[in-house]
Structure 1
């Protein structure tokens, strides 16, 4: 049973709530082929999805953000992504739908705090039919500083009128855990997500580690709130 002291649960989006890798594998390789380059292995893309579109361009085209071609390539990738959302291959991770249903049934608000732009985040959540029940969505558009700054999580808590120490934040990247720690929320590392090459969730000092999405509910049940 969930504690009545649990006020809200916040999720990162890519690699935590939703498996968005299939969309990024498709659009990045399409962009590479459009530029007469060889497509790269799905695993190489998947492990870097949480780092965002800019990092994918840098990796795939072996350039940095200062390169003269970078802005145009990024624009092309985002245009492809915008089109892909209309026929998204992204899915909720197994067990996440049941978790959200349980939170809804217990009247515990849940939301998303992501570094994905609102234009894409809103459309993706709508395509997956979970936007209506999402109590808050905080994107870089809504704050001055994105994660790992605590600002987005603090804004979400403010909007929901939730106490940070009774809020749980779940994410699959070190920046998520840092943001949770600095906002004084309880952190769960989503070790099933896109950790990145060589990354180990054990190194992040999260309060808890979820090896699978189904572990999240058990962790929520076990938390002893102050």
Structure 2
């Protein structure tokens, strides 16, 4: 970072908003219809950042369903998700206070997510969130880890990427942030796959809770003051 902090950008699922509860509920609803036992939330949460197809493949791994059948289940899953994507979804602990602190400091914030816009915008509306910029995969030609979305978000808020933060819970988030020239922060509370070592992502910072994240943001705000 070469100057004052100009903007803060977040990944959505697993970073800013805990959406695993709705994925978990719908997956177990579908499993019940196939006479399969429910899976624990901790197991399903680790799959969320890999996308719906991964969730369905893992969620029905013990069956002999073929690809066509799994795709049919995925279509059903997404239909149900669109109707109930905000039943359990909520900001992670400490995030409301962090967003309020950004607002009070007049620092714009935004979201760059691999979640399609038809799910992202209704979810944000339900949570009463109003980011200065929202970039979804169907709004860019290349998705993360490509930096296109991050560069576009910075341009939309009038910020120099080198003076921006990007915060995420997946290696592709950190890679995208580095490629955009942003300072990167990896959150340890996210939807991280078992065996995935967050330290190998080479983020500029790794945080375990929102208080630690807020402390880093505050220090970057004052470092160049």
> If the length of structure 1 is used for normalisation, what is the TM-score?
0.91
The answer on 1:40 being equivalent to 2:39 is yes
Residue 104 of structure 1 is matched in structure 2 by 103
Deviation at 1:4, TM superposition (A): 7.7
Residue 10 of structure 1 is matched in structure 2 by 9
Structure 1 segments of 4 or more deviating over 3 A?
A: none
Residue 219 of structure 1 is matched in structure 2 by 216
> Is the 1:94–1:214 Cα contact (8 Å) retained in structure 2?
no
- SS state at 1:79 partner: helix
| Counterpart-to-counterpart distance in 2, 1:181 and 1:61 | 36
Matches within 5 A, 1:187-226: 187-223=184-220, 224=223
Deviation at 1:112, TM superposition (A): 0.6
> Is the 2:3–2:163 Cα contact (8 Å) retained in structure 1?
no
Q: Across the two proteins, how many residue pairs are aligned to each other?
A: 218
> Is the 1:9–1:167 Cα contact (8 Å) retained in structure 2?
yes
Aligned equivalent of 1:178, options 175, 178, 182: 175
| Counterpart-to-counterpart distance in 2, 1:72 and 1:182 | 36
- SS state at 2:38 partner: coil
- SS state at 2:111 partner: strand
Deviation at 1:149, TM superposition (A): 1.2
Deviation at 1:37, TM superposition (A): 2.6
- SS state at 1:39 partner: coil
> Is the 1:18–1:90 Cα contact (8 Å) retained in structure 2?
yes
Aligned equivalent of 1:135, options 132, 153, 167: 132
- SS state at 2:215 partner: helix
CA RMSD of aligned residues (A): 1.8
